[in-house]
Structure 1
Amino acid sequence: MPQPTPPPRRAPILGGRATRAVLALALLAGAAATAHATPLSDASRAFAAHTGARLVFDRGGLPDGAWYDQLPALSAERQLRAARLLLDEAAKYPRGYLGAIGVRAVGVFAACVSNDNDGFHSWDDTYGGYLYYGVWNGRDGIAAAYYSDGQLPLTFHHEVFHAVDATAGGVSDHDANFHADDARFAAAVSGERRYPAARIAQGDLARLAAVGRGRVLEDAVAHYATKSAGEDQAETARWMMTNLADALVQVARRPELAGSQRMLHLLGEYRGATTDGPALSWFVDVALGRADRSAQATAPPRDPEVARLVALAAGSLPELDDVVTARRLLARFASGGIDALGARDRARLAQAALDLTPRLGRARARANDD
């Protein structure tokens, strides 16, 4: 979970959703879809379609970054299990959220091994190094170890929050954003400037209490939280996202607790990271399992060609003309024009591209068979 030295200051990256669109369009241009899917490829595609980030299992699939000295690969069986675990956890975020906060890839490995110890980790004789749980590269990638079914979700939410912490209004910029909220976080935790209790309807509170396990976060999650404000928040995130019903009851009924103040701060961070980030009601619906978590309602696209692609993605592509039109429009955006779109249209384009990728690949395969 350590955070590496951030890269030199750079221009804010293109919105994560636009980056996701470019990646999806590149896949389409290369006809990457295959006619012979496997359970792992299905799970990986579903993860990408929901999150906007690729799920990878080899070091070469990660973006550039200060990764660990060793990232040994998982067995094929463990890769599939990890993919299914993370698909479940990713459903706790709105569709496209990881891409919107700048995350392009999430890598999962048998271990994260470093030659160095930051004072919080233990030596492992098997790998000849210190075992870590995961890392965010300070920009656009996450690497996580899969030691157990209970640990992987914790690591995932911890590292995702680092990316949330570095993003504001859909702009991912470590230098500008990562520490900008630390003073407000400290004031809330100390009691100097507390957040008010979360306002949740009484009926929902009763339902949340019924499905929860009665757990309470009184203060910090673990000793690792003492490392920095950023690690304190990320540790809080992994507790909150894996105890969501209990966390929501707590922030509504016991806001005076330092643990509650930590979580109330995080709720604001999740919402403010993107222009349409998840509100409190999103998390309530997720915890109660009553919402369609696959997408949030959005306005129709303003750009007519994006609107046409969205309509094609929602249909069944029954006619050859539809396939040709979809490819033509995607090729146009792949060659330029994404920057001119608004943030919402970029998000809709990204999702349409991801939805169309396997279907256009199958159409190509059918044409080759004829």
Structure 2
Amino acid sequence: MPTALTDLCRHPIVQAPMAGGASSPELAAAVSTAGGLGFLAAGYKTADGMYQEITQVRGLTDRPFGVNLFMPQPELADAAAVEVYREQLAGEATWYETELGDTAGSADDGYDAKLAVLREDPVPVVSFTFGCPDRKTLQALDRVGTYTVVTVTTAAEARAAQEAGADAVCVQGIEAGGHQGTHRDDPHSDGTGAGVGLLTLIAEVREDVRLPVIAAGGLMRGAQIAAVLAAGAAAAQLGTAFLACPESGAHPLHKQALTDPLFTRTELTRAFSGRPARGLVNRFLREHGPYAPAAYPAVHYLTSPVRKAAAKAGDPQAMSLWAGQGHRLARQLPASGLMETLVAELAAARDQLNPSGAAGTGPLGSAS
């Protein structure tokens, strides 16, 4: 049966919510206006800051868009391990002439206040990362007409999202840039064997749940979008592909690094935030990644001043250069131009897959 996603965008392309400033109102509005589904990232913002960005998007487009929330995190940080890491980073603070951050920041990211705003003044879509809301929360959003999406990295997490009453799941493969949206951060699962590739994960989730699937992880070209749609996804979510757009709020050094020959690969690391996140391998990641504790968001607050000072100094070697495995395929196009290019590539790929011209499943596929 057709999914409700068909009411949200003309093309099966979702712009990933990228916390830290990349998902600007201008980017979200441009993607939505071009027929995709633009997203704001509420992570690390206050409830009022989130609301101000929502207001900006509404002033730029009349098309649907989404807002992503971080789920509150348990107080699991080992204070002693964080202090040891602080000592290891003392040289970074000295080099960049700054202080290390206060690790006593809130672990709930203003979650309840943001939910209150979104219930009182609803947006078309709300997605969740780092966990699954309870049924009561999802029902409250459903009552105000909001479509809900839960980010998952395993079939078990997808089952939990379905049982809680989510409308769809965003299936995040190990290829994805930025933070892995695992519902439980288990440091014992770190290592080269951690995580599942996107195509395999789509298949596993489709075996277990009936919810529409939004596929995320390393997608940069229209042919890749066609592949995940053929694998059963209803839409594809792209983050790194939109990072290089002029509307993106990412730092210019971050945008340049995506295709800079100096940065040849990505890794999952806890170095910058204390939670596994995929970024371009730079000096900071190499030197501190092996010693970073599983302590999110304490490590995020700890390293924030160093990352900002490095950016101000024009030094990408101590910035968190989040990027997916497909970063070398980034194109510096306006968001509308990138959307147009992706849609054309998707159409060409579909023609190759279906040369007879038989009827397909519609612009956003279907879920069964």
Instruction: Check whether TM > 0.5.
Output: no
State the TM-score, normalizing by the size of structure 1.
0.24
Structure showing the higher strand proportion among its residues: 2
Q: Greater CA radius of gyration, 1 or 2? A: 1
Structure showing the higher helix proportion among its residues: 1
State the TM-score, normalizing by the size of structure 2.
0.25
